[in-house]
Structure 1
Amino acid sequence: MSNYSVFIRSIVVALLIMVLSACSDKQNEHVAIRFSHGLDTQHPVHKSLIYMNEVLQQVSGGSMELIIYPSAQLGSEREVLELLQIGSLGMTKVSASSLEAFVPQMKVFSLPYLFNNHAHFWQTLNSEIGQQLLDAGTPYRVKGLGYFDAGSRSFYTTKRKVENPEQLTGLKIRVMNSQSAVDMVNTMGASATPVSWGELYTALQQGIVEGAENNPPSFYFSKHYEVSKYYLLDEHTAIPDVIVIGTHKWNSLTQQQQSWLTQAMQEAVVYQRILWAEATKDSLQKVKDAGVEVIVADKTSFQKSVEPIYQKLQGTKLEPLVNSIKALGEH
């Protein structure tokens, strides 16, 4: 072998060693991912994220962890999504509605009475449709890792009991900053009024809005039951929470690290569903004990009131997705 060949071979071997060493160093480095969400530390979502962090540390041998910032310490859902996009934050939990601006297909979850029941809802999330929706944010630098249960959203009011859509007429109902939510509440006959979550208690107390809509645990943990004494279980929408990671952070992880994070996510999803079911039952009992009248709605009139929303979907890009979801429920 010539001296030149030996020289070239030495360079190749040296480069290979450098690459392998770099990969090894990256594999063994400690990775701390900053995770922000807007919920209270007693909320099932926060407890499930604590569990997710425990699983992540265990499967990674302590080389990975989540640094969790609850109670909107780092900003609103919209603000933290923007932080994810520029790489200043690693992960977050947001409502699927908050992703509509980045992933238009997420609007499907805001359609009222789309799912036959909770089983149909989870059948959809666990299907190829659910995975496609998680992946749809990648061009916008956000990647969905999994879904948390956020139950079904129902109306609660401060001044008068509501049992049918006609009784919503004229009421100012707080909605999320989502055009789909605005359209739904307006179609039912109320006056949709976007108010930030952090300002809602005061808005209800002062009469700026006369009602809102959310799931039972959020109604309880927010203490909105203190100023809203009527809770109507009409269960108009089932909008999941989505665990999101910025693509900048995801792409910085090795394949093994991505696998560990994915495993922790999967185990947390199972754990959170159990906590959520318990929290829903417990929250309804606690608000009843606090004097809230819980009314079980006859959903037929509410379903009829939102038919115009589905009529407007005809010929739109969302229609095939809606049809696919409905088809799942027929099996």
Structure 2
Amino acid sequence: MINRRHLIATGAAAAVAGCGQADRPLYSADAHVADYPTVQGVEAMARMVEERTGGRQRVKIFAGAQLGSERDTLELTVFGALDLNRVNLAPLNSIANETIVPSLPFLFSSIDHMRASLDGAPGQTILDALRPHGLVGLCFYDSGARSFYNTRHPINEPDDIRGMKIRVQNSDLYVGMVEALGANPTPMALGEVYQGLVQGVIDGAENNWPSYESARHFEAAQYYSLTRHVMAPEILVMSKHRWDRLSGEDQAIFQQAARDSVPVMRELWDARVADSRERVLASGVEANEIGDIAAFSNLMEGVWDRFVVTDVQRRLVEDIRNLGGAA
């Protein structure tokens, strides 16, 4: 049985000694359940690595937060006790501020724009920014487009959300975004949202179609308004301690296998989004498009000014916007 204590003990020893791990697979963590597209994406990468190295390198995946929360496992990965980790961008924001950029509200004009940006030079800049902090960024996985849902009425313009109590992740960026819309941000664990909606502790929340469906939030909040305000990706990283012990050949194999796993994950993600949307709409949920998205995005100037503070971040924003304009 592998647990956090075991990882700290064996991983720390190997990180110091620089050896002792050749006879075991690389350990990979994911907070999502085993059939989630990110987990299946890493599984695809693992199969490619094993095949391309003739079984010399193997990956064992611990899904469903078996090894702890994303923040806990990220610490283990930096420390070298955990080899690979699929995490949300939010825990990385305090490590490398370049990772804040893809989470900026209304940055991406579409899923295609987001994917082109992360597959291109802006994405590579963000991945490279992790190396000085003990992590090697391998690839980005999708996390969908987030939209608002609530218990009261459809949201068509900012005034419709004004004054609502909206659950957000424990993130200063998300708090600032909701405040800019005139609503009251309420940081809350995802597992508490359903009860919060039922009891009226909160009026609404924001998330993608699969999370809205799988967490059963659509049963309590039946108005889903397609603001698509954030399209932040998720990211697969390797501990730099482990990366540095790989041969140049194996480093190249891991890097290419990670990239080759992205279209596999995206195909699974797109299918899951379509299935979740169909299930939710069949239940009677009222979903509405936003006629004037600029009415929302124009309120974000102060939020961007607060979180885009370095020249590198500004160049990333400019490069991403240029890609959107070219599309």
Report matched runs for 1:134-213 at 5 Å: 134-213=127-206
What is the alpha-carbon root mean square deviation over aligned residues?
2.2
Taking structure 2 as the reference length, what is the TM-score of the superposition? 0.86
Q: CA deviation at 1:106?
A: 1.2
Taking a change above 3 Å as real, the CA distance of residues 128 and 281 of structure 1, as seen in their structure-2 partners, is same
* Equivalent residues of 2:101, 2:308 under 8 A apart: no
CA distance in 2, matches of 1:197, 1:73: 17
* Equivalent residues of 2:181, 2:296 under 8 A apart: yes
**Which residue among 99, 110, 115 is the counterpart of 1:106?**
99
Deviations 1:172-225 (A, max 9, x none): 212222211111111111111222233333333333332211111222222222
What stretches of structure 2 of length at least 5 have no aligned partner? 1-18
CA distance in 2, matches of 1:50, 1:312: 38
Q: CA deviation at 1:311?
A: 5.2
Give the aligned partner of residue 87 of structure 2: 94
SS in 1 for 2:325: coil
* Equivalent residues of 1:177, 1:195 under 8 A apart: yes
Q: CA deviation at 1:259?
A: 2.2
Taking a change above 3 Å as real, the CA distance of residues 68 and 189 of structure 1, as seen in their structure-2 partners, is same
Give the aligned partner of residue 294 of structure 2: 300
CA distance in 2, matches of 1:240, 1:152: 9
Comparing 108-117 with 264-273, which one deviates more in the overlay? 108-117
Taking a change above 3 Å as real, the CA distance of residues 205 and 34 of structure 1, as seen in their structure-2 partners, is farther
Give the aligned partner of residue 276 of structure 1: 269
* Equivalent residues of 1:145, 1:245 under 8 A apart: yes
Deviations 1:121-161 (A, max 9, x none): 22211222211100111121122100011121111123443
Q: CA deviation at 1:313?
A: 6.5
CA distance in 1, matches of 2:227, 2:213: 17
Q: CA deviation at 1:308?
A: 3.2
Q: CA deviation at 1:43?
A: 1.9
CA distance in 2, matches of 1:313, 1:47: 33
Letter in structure 2 aligned against 1:322: V
Taking a change above 3 Å as real, the CA distance of residues 56 and 202 of structure 1, as seen in their structure-2 partners, is farther
Taking structure 1 as the reference length, what is the TM-score of the superposition? 0.85
* Equivalent residues of 2:173, 2:303 under 8 A apart: no
Give the aligned partner of residue 324 of structure 1: 319
**Which residue among 35, 38, 43 is the counterpart of 1:45?**
38
CA distance in 2, matches of 1:307, 1:113: 10
* Equivalent residues of 1:111, 1:237 under 8 A apart: yes
Taking a change above 3 Å as real, the CA distance of residues 86 and 232 of structure 1, as seen in their structure-2 partners, is same
* Equivalent residues of 2:100, 2:307 under 8 A apart: no
* Equivalent residues of 1:34, 1:91 under 8 A apart: yes
Report matched runs for 1:109-120 at 5 Å: 109-120=102-113
Give the aligned partner of residue 77 of structure 1: 70
Report matched runs for 1:62-73 at 5 Å: 62-73=55-66
What stretches of structure 1 of length at least 5 have no aligned partner? 1-25
Q: Which has the larger radius of gyration?
A: 1
Letter in structure 2 aligned against 1:308: G
How many residues are matched? 305
Q: CA deviation at 1:312?
A: 5.1
Comparing 77-86 with 253-262, which one deviates more in the overlay? 253-262
- Percentage identity across paired residues of the two chains: 33
Taking a change above 3 Å as real, the CA distance of residues 142 and 100 of structure 1, as seen in their structure-2 partners, is same
CA distance in 2, matches of 1:291, 1:135: 45
Q: CA deviation at 1:314?
A: 7.9
Q: CA deviation at 1:307?
A: 3.4
Give the aligned partner of residue 20 of structure 1: none
CA distance in 2, matches of 1:75, 1:315: 32
Give the aligned partner of residue 13 of structure 2: none
